[in-house]
Amino acid sequence: MSIDSIRIHCTGCEYEYLEHFQPITLKCKIGDEVATYYRTTAWCNQCDTIRYVEHIPTLDELQEDYDEFKAPFTEPPATGIRKFISLIFRGGRPSASDVRRSESIKKLNTQIAWRQARIAPPHCLTCGATDLTPIDFEQVDEHTSIAKNFRHSCGGQLVRDHNDDPGIRFHFRDRTIWMDIEGNRLDDSEMKTDRIMPS
Ligand SMILES: [Zn+2]
Ligand SMILES: [Zn+2]
């Protein structure tokens, strides 16, 4: 996978950050099942830079997925002649779509069970700290976004230039990181080792 990167710089000092949009999937065991979630970026006050951090969806967001997912399946259960036909033609076995549906419902129930058990705040994926500040970039013109909710320690503002293409493309493998229910990484590999090759 080859993805463009963007550059974020500080108006008050030399601070610079390159965002490479590395695809990362976070996985957490919950009982015999595995919940899946993703990362976002935030300022890590311990690393003192922008880092990948856990994105923990709210229960409402998960519930929304669930409702969206359930909507197409509101047909009434097979009874009478439809049940009879189903028994004749499929020997009473569940159809492929029934199997897919129950697998998806199971998966969503796993996500909800994980979210209910996940009380700890998001962790930095590099150092494990929870002292994080979300950065919300607001677009100010065609080419520039500014983090209005955040000040760098030097007093400057972080600016993201949309047309400031560093001219580098990075190739990333989709990466899976196993996490525990508290938000601690279960592997201790370096976050930087999976940059395969700049081209
Ligand atoms: Zn600065
Ligand atoms: Zn950190």
Tell whether 76 is covered by a domain.
Answer: yes
Residue 43, token pair as written in the block:
């300022």
| pTM, rounded to two decimals | 0.77
Strands (E) located in the chain:
2-4, 6-10, 16-19, 24-30, 33-44, 49-55, 132-133, 137-139, 144-147, 158-161, 169-172, 175-179, 195-198
- The ligand whose atoms approach the alpha carbon of 10 most closely is 1
The DSSP output letter for 95 is P
Encode pLDDT of 97-124 as tens digits: 888 888 888 889 999 999 999 999 999 9
Interval 18-74: pLDDT, tens: 887 888 999 999 999 999 999 999 999 999 999 999 999 999 888 787 766 665 555
**Length in residues, the chain:** 199
The residue range of the domain holding 181 is: 20-136+167-198
Better-scored residue on pLDDT, 101 or 189:
101
Distance (angstroms) between ligand 2 centre and the Cα of 44 equals: 5
Domains in the chain, number: 1
Task: Please tell me the number of the ligand nearest to residue 159's CA.
Answer: 1
Examine residue 10 and state whether it is found in any structural domain, yes or no.
no
Could you tell me if 125 and 176 are in contact, meaning their C-beta atoms sit under 8 angstroms apart?
A: no
Ligand having the closest approach to the CA of 127: 2
CA-based radius of gyration for the chain: 22
* In a domain? residue 30: yes
